[in-house]
Amino acid sequence: MFVKINSQEDIKSHKNYRKDITEFLTDIKRPEVISNVAENIQPAQAFEEMFTQEETEWMYGFAFSRCSHVRHNPNGTIFIFGNMEGIYKKYKQKIDQILPGADKSPIVGGNFFITPDQYGLHNDSMRQKDWEEGLSWLPIDDPQRSYVAWRNVIIPIFVTRPDVTSHAVFFKQRHIDWSHVYNHGNKMTSATTYEIVDDHSKIDFYTPEGKQSGQDNLKPYDKAHYEEYLYYTPYERLAGLEPELTCEWKPRCPIVFDAFQLHATNKGFKDKQWTLKMGLLLCFLRKV
C-alpha cells in the first residue's frame, strides 16, 4: 500500500476533534447502568466488502498524517489515535448503514492498530484508569456524564500475507465492566494496558438471555471450535464462553459488535499464518 500524505488539500481540510471520550461516561459499575446495558445487547455482525481500496488507502494515510498520538505495547503492537471523528464524518453514510444510531454518539473514539500478533481474549469498553483521571476535571455528577460504551466498528485495512485466511471470534458473553483481558486459569502476564481477569468465577457474564450462572462461567469450551480457531491460547482460558460469531478478518469488510463483548482473533490456520496486519477501531457511545 502506497499513499501520499499531507497534501495541501488534506492540510487545509484538517480538523482537530475532541479526544477525551471518557468525559461523557457515567460509572459503568452502577447496578442500574449494568441492567440497562444488559437489556440492550445486540449481536455481532460481519459485513461484506463495503469500503473500496481507495477508501482504505485514505484511512491508512489518515493514521500517519492526521492522528495526534501514538504508543506501542511490549509485543510490538502500535496504536495510533486522535481525531477519529474525522473518519466517521467522511464515511458517515456507510457507517450509519451498518450501525444505525451512530450519529447519536456525542464523540467517536478508537484507534488504528498495527500488530504482529493475534489479539487474545478481551473486551474493548474503556480503561477504568482513563475514566478515573477524567473525574478530576469533570465530576461524576455532571449531566454530560450520561453515556456508556455501546458498539464498536472494526475496519480491517491490510494483512500480510494477503493470501492467508484468518478469523475473529465474538462470544455470547459480555462483561459489563471496564476494559479487561481474560486469562482464566493462568497467571501469565500479557502485553496489555487493560486489567487482567484470571478467574471467571469472580465476575459476571451477561448474554442475550440474561445473566449467566456462576456454574456456567466455568463450563468447558467447545473443543472442536477451539482446535480450529483458537488453538494458540490455553484451552482453560475460554471457560464459560460460547462463540456467537466466527468470521473472516478481511480488508475492507467491517465488523460491528458490543463494546462489552469478549472477542479474540487468530493468525490464520495452524499451517498458514499472516505476519502483520492493520485495522481501524471506531467506538461509539449510547445515552442511558
Beta strand pairing call for 180-182 and 195-197: parallel
Report the length, in residues, of the chain: 288
Q: Which three cell numbers stand for residue 39?
A: 437489556
Q: List strand residue ranges (DSSP E) for the chain, in order.
A: 45-46, 69-72, 78-81, 109-115, 147-160, 167-174, 180-182, 195-197, 206-207, 210-211, 243-248, 255-258, 261-265, 268-269, 272-273, 276-287
pLDDT reading at 59 higher than 70: yes
Cis amide linkage into residue 161, ω under 30° from 0: yes
What mean pLDDT do residues 250-257 have? 97
Banded pLDDT at 8 (limits 50, 70, 90): low
N-to-C CA span, the chain = 41
- Return d(Cα 180, Cα 178) in angstroms, integer: 6
- pLDDT in the model for residue 193: 73
- pLDDT in the model for residue 120: 87
Q: Which of 7-11, 63-67, 187-191, 216-220 has the highest mean pLDDT?
A: 216-220
Query: DSSP alpha helices (H): ranges in the chain?
Result: 8-13, 31-38, 53-65, 84-90, 92-98, 128-134, 223-229
Q: Which of 118-127, 182-191, 193-202, 244-253 has the highest mean pLDDT?
A: 244-253
Give me the sheet containing 45-46, strands edge to edge: 45-46, 255-258, 147-160, 276-287, 109-115, 78-81, 69-72
- Amino acid sitting at position 213: S
Tens-place pLDDT, residues 136-193:
989 999 999 999 999 999 999 999 988 999 999 999 999 999 999 999 988 766 556 7
The rounded mean pLDDT for the chain is 93
- Return d(Cα 63, Cα 266) in angstroms, integer: 24
- Given a contact cutoff of 8 angstroms between Cβ atoms, the answer to whether 24 and 174 are in contact is no
Q: Which three cell numbers stand for residue 103?
A: 450519529
Q: Which three cell numbers stand for residue 268?
A: 490464520
In the chain, the domains with their CATH numbers are 20-287 (2.60.120)
- Return d(Cα 256, Cα 121) in angstroms, integer: 17
pLDDT reading at 244 higher than 60: yes
- pLDDT in the model for residue 266: 96
- Return d(Cα 148, Cα 105) in angstroms, integer: 10
- Return d(Cα 53, Cα 111) in angstroms, integer: 20
pLDDT reading at 283 higher than 90: yes
Task: Name which of 76, 58, 74 is nearest 66 in CA terms.
Answer: 58
pLDDT reading at 126 higher than 80: yes
